[in-house]
Amino acid sequence: MQAEGPELDRGVPVLMVKVGHYPDAYGAYGAARSLGRAGVPVYAMVEDALTPTALSRYVRRAFVRPTSAGEPPEALVAALLAAGRAIGRPTVAVPTDDEAAVLLAEHRSELAGRFLLPPVPADLPRRLADKGGLHELCRTNGVATPRAATPADRSELLATAREWGYPVVLKNLAPFTRQVRPAVSHTTVVPDEPALLAACPSDGPLSVLLQEYVPQSCAEDWITHLCCGSGGKPLVVFTGVKDRSWPPESGVTTRGHTRPNPELAALATDFCEAIGYCGSADLDWRLDRRDGRYKLLDFNPRNGAQFRLFETVDGVDVVRALHLWLTGRPVPAGPQRPRRFRAGRLDTLSALAGAWQDRCRPWGLWAEPHTEHAWFAADDPAPAVAALLRFGVPAPYRMLRSRIGG
């Protein structure tokens, strides 16, 4: 459990907004726990009543609204408004995925009667969540980022990869289409041309970003989580190191730790102010030791899955900061607390895959002091039990076997 935090307005509830099918969303119930522990009524949109989020003791009501991200925007807005009417009072809407962030921003005027939302420019979350759009924003604003291209078809993809040399990185290009018609199952490091052909077997139109690979041997992975007020003014800014991910080198953070980094914090906040971003955000960076520059890989216009790694000495994380700001309360400006984060079974698989690749013994298989767990919490065990029973390890285990040649 976390330290006692600032006094939030318990008369203003929160709705966790989700678009798409990903029931094992530990960032969502991390947010529910953070706000629920502060006495804020929490509601959530879920795929079904047995998702881990729906079973959290801190979720007052789960609205079963299964979506595919392929629905017309009007249908998604109608579902949001129906949930707002059921809650019955002005509610802070917290997006748990890029599609939800885009939906809330682009339909803010329609939702304003029911929901409290950041005044972010309507088109900005979509541009940030679109990998090609983010690359252009970085170039326009002088933010370092790996070389990238958006090939129209497989022929152009192959030609560009041959020109750059392997490995290269493939990413799904745009929100919504990444769920409805994904080009790749996840961000993928492609070692050679046969692997690229296997990843993109058809010769039709592509919705993919080809990105330069920054070798892990000469890089460090960093993360910045923040919440900005109007005009991009920073309310809280956190920095930390991504120790491991799943899949390795290209996936979600499975193990990380806080580390103050004023240079990186300034890069992130200056970028947000330059583009006028407000709300919570999760930025992935790679420090390229070859030129000493932090290069922005991804900008998620919402709180990240591992946001609970970060908390100030006053007990403020990014979702608490968002709630304080949108309800007109001050956000304490204390320094970040030293913490660690671990995503249980996924981190074990990442450790085993890394040990096999490096031919060494796996390290860090047990949680250290001051570790925030992705699924388990002593005061809210049901989501962890539900995640274990429902998802277990078969799919990640199959991926692990494919990576080690089993």
Q: Which two structure tokens, joined as six digits, stand for 117?
A: 């939302």
Query: For residues 245-268, b (16+ Cβ closer than 10 Å) or e, as one string?
Result: bbbbbbbbbbbbbbeebeebbebb
The string of pLDDT tens digits covering residues 285-332 is 999 999 999 999 999 999 999 999 999 999 999 999 999 999 999 999
- Is 2 a domain residue? no
H helices of 231-364, in order, are: 262-275, 318-326, 344-358
The string of pLDDT tens digits covering residues 225-251 is 999 999 999 999 999 999 999 888 778
Question: Domain span at residue 197?
Answer: 147-213
pLDDT > 90? residue 369: no
Distance CA(114)–CA(78), nearest Å, equals 12
- Band of residue 5 on the pLDDT scale cut at 50, 70, 90: confident
Same domain, residue pair 195 and 252: no
pLDDT > 50? residue 32: yes
The string of pLDDT tens digits covering residues 163-211 is 999 999 999 999 999 999 888 888 999 999 999 998 887 777 889 999 9
CATH code where residue 285 lies? 3.30.470.20
- Band of residue 24 on the pLDDT scale cut at 50, 70, 90: confident
Percent of the chain with pLDDT over 70: 96
Select the more confidently predicted residue: 147 or 406: 147
Let me know the angle formed at the C-alpha of 182 by 177 and 184, rounded to the nearest 5 degrees.
Answer: 145
Select the more confidently predicted residue: 365 or 27: 27
Percent of the chain with pLDDT over 90: 78
- Band of residue 333 on the pLDDT scale cut at 50, 70, 90: confident
- Is 250 a domain residue? yes
Distance CA(191)–CA(189), nearest Å, equals 6
CATH code where residue 162 lies? 3.30.1490.20
- Is 188 a domain residue? yes
- Is 334 a domain residue? yes
* Cis omega (within 30 of 0) for bond into 247: yes
Same domain, residue pair 226 and 312: yes
Q: For 1-18, what is the mean pLDDT?
A: 85
Q: Which two structure tokens, joined as six digits, stand for 277?
A: 């971003």
pLDDT of the residue at 105: 98
- Is 60 a domain residue? yes
Same domain, residue pair 44 and 177: no
pLDDT of the residue at 59: 98
Same domain, residue pair 93 and 191: no
Same domain, residue pair 206 and 253: no
The structural domain count of the chain equals: 2
- Band of residue 104 on the pLDDT scale cut at 50, 70, 90: very high
Same domain, residue pair 336 and 262: yes
The string of pLDDT tens digits covering residues 336-366 is 999 999 998 889 888 898 888 878 888 888 8
**How many Cα atoms within 13 Å fall on the side-chain side of residue 42?**
29
| Among 229, 225, 196, 226, residue whose Cα is nearest residue 210 | 196
Same domain, residue pair 190 and 261: no
| Among 295, 326, 308, residue whose Cα is nearest residue 228 | 326
- Is 138 a domain residue? no
Domain C-terminal end among 213, 228, 261: 213
258, 239 Cβ separation under 8 angstroms: yes
Distance CA(74)–CA(285), nearest Å, equals 35
In 216-276, at which residue ranges do the beta strands (DSSP E only) sit?
219-228, 234-246, 252-258
Same domain, residue pair 231 and 194: no
pLDDT of the residue at 353: 87
Domain C-terminal end among 312, 327, 342: 342
Same domain, residue pair 222 and 195: no
- Is 393 a domain residue? no
* Cis omega (within 30 of 0) for bond into 167: yes
- Is 357 a domain residue? no
Residue 22: partners with Cβ closer than 8 Å, 6 or more residues away:
97
Domain C-terminal end among 342, 365, 395: 342
Same domain, residue pair 209 and 221: no
DSSP string, 156-175: HHHHHHHHH-S-EEEEE-ST
Same domain, residue pair 125 and 158: no
pLDDT > 70? residue 401: no
Same domain, residue pair 268 and 310: yes
